[in-house]
Structure 1
Amino acid sequence: MTTKPIPLQTRGIPASQLVLGCMRLGGDWNARSAITAEHYRQGREALDAALEIGINMFDHADIYAAGKAERVFGQVLKERPSLRGEIILQSKCGIRFADEEGPHRFDFTEGHIVRSVDGILERLGTEYLDILLLHRPDPLVDPEETARAIQRLKASGKVRHFGVSNMSQGQIRLLAAYSGEPFIVNQLEMSLRKHGFLDTAISVNQETARDNVFPEGSMEYMRLENIQLQSWGPLAQGIYSGRSLEGQSESVAATAKLVAELAERLDTTAEAVVLAWLMTHPAGIQPVIGTVNPERIRACKDAATLRLDREDWYRLYTAALGRNLP
């Protein structure tokens, strides 16, 4: 199958087909822990490996390592100021962990969103974000209030584009109806192991559909609206590309074996096969790889151009599904 432009590219945003997720930068998620020289070294090496294989887009969130992930990345950018104009920075806000003010919660209020973006920009050492994602649905959202935050951030030049993470088409449509700005990204968990985005489609009017939580119609809506689908967890935590299979199901073992066979036949890596399986889907899925190990990042290189034929794609899907298709 041929490689087609991803939705972000068709919108004039020169994003790479792979994104480096920066969640693992900065050490643990204890805000009191210091950032060490080792953390900065890790950040430099991860960035170098990503650039080496053509990645120019980097994904953050204000909660990652309690803000330390953004600080590490910001320091690397400070050391290479010319790089900012060559990369695309995306971050997220809306999740608030338990603190003196309340329990773990979601917050799409105007004040919280605006303050969060100011903090993100300070930590990254940049004047603007290319894309801001609202991280998880806030059941108490007032879409008019959220729209005010979006309009303020757009007018100030602090955020150029907006998107969401972990949302259904109905939740996106509600926000978009008030915001005056299109939501151009939806980041969801999708992988060869987390294949609910496919199961929803093939299980219509099937008994197997009852336990699937992936929102029906979401894939079709994103494609119709030219919304970039991003996949978090696309490598399935390495379960098909070298992680120990002890205690895993027969279907996991069978899928890992098939991935290895395809990698050998196609003269590539297991990581590239796992990602290519996602990227072969015609929706133009953009994987956000979560590793900051330079060698694993480099192992993903071929995924940008590798596409599976229909038969190999279905072989992998059926193996991961662990049963025959209906």
Structure 2
Amino acid sequence: MSDEFFMKLALDEAWKYQLLTYPNPAVGCAIVDKNGKLLALGAHKCAGKAHAELGAVTLALCELKPELKSELLRLENSPNELYDFILKNHKGALNGACAFVSLEPCTHFGKTPPCALLLRDLGFCRVVFGSADLGGQAKGGAKLLANAGVSVAQSTLKSKCDELLEPFLAWQSGHFAFFKLALSLNGVYTGKISSQIAQKHCHDLRSKLDLLVIGGNTVRSDRPILDARFSTTKHAPDVLIYSRKSEFERQIPLFSVLNRKVDIKNDLELLKKAKFAMIEGAGRLFKALENEFSWVLIYQSKSFKKGSFLDISKSLEIMHSTPLGADTALWCKVREN
């Protein structure tokens, strides 16, 4: 199999956790043994948890050294302890292996140990990465590995890896916003659209946000709660209701969520200041705020529905499609018409 094949697998794994890693980047890793056999796929799933390389190494060792599996899985939510356990107990199981990582392995000690050192000390003979790490303390993984005699190459899928990294780079600059839609296969946006799995994914995203933006007309007509009850943390984001009219019934559920701030404004200053924001709505809000976002996340069901159709004229490029049970998450980038 080619380098591109294995890097594509790493990218597919990373996209499952896109934006859920906030404020960290989404990263994927594929590990292949010295004979070219795929051993494991890993991804960074959440800030403070194992980086993609450590996660993939853990899964690979579960297969290669089953006697370690129970302890490896017990430590998977404690990356520092997991890292130390692996270095003490791997016994050369990954000598000669190759890692395909969407982002250059890091070199710094942060909440988790450096991945470049892990790959070096486990005896990897080759590392292929996609995006170069341009950040301060984290950069330099490729140089460290090369100096240790590891063969290092940058993937021909660099542009795809760079695309995966865009939200992280925007967060570092202070602001990233995207628009979320739920659509039936024939373009209907009204009524119940998404499956439970897609709803949970959306709630997981909400739990990471600094701000959720919604239009006043939608609040009045749909009377939403806009919480994150299906997520693990259940942390509901603050809400900006973008509306010319400031009067709303306080019995609308979104106003009763604990530990949340709800602002009603006819300007977008709060949106522009938010480090990570999601805009939820349909055609009218999309058109009104189209200069405020460059990414669109579409939860698309596989069913036809009766209802109102989306009335938008806009070119989108699908960067990735991620299966979510019966639905698909379409990660799109706005293109000029």
Fold match by TM threshold 0.5 = no
- The structure with higher relative contact order (CA 8 Å, sep 6+) is 1
- Higher helix fraction (1 or 2): 1
State TM-score, norm by structure 2: 0.30
- Higher strand fraction (1 or 2): 2
Structure number with greater Rg is: 2
State TM-score, norm by structure 1: 0.31
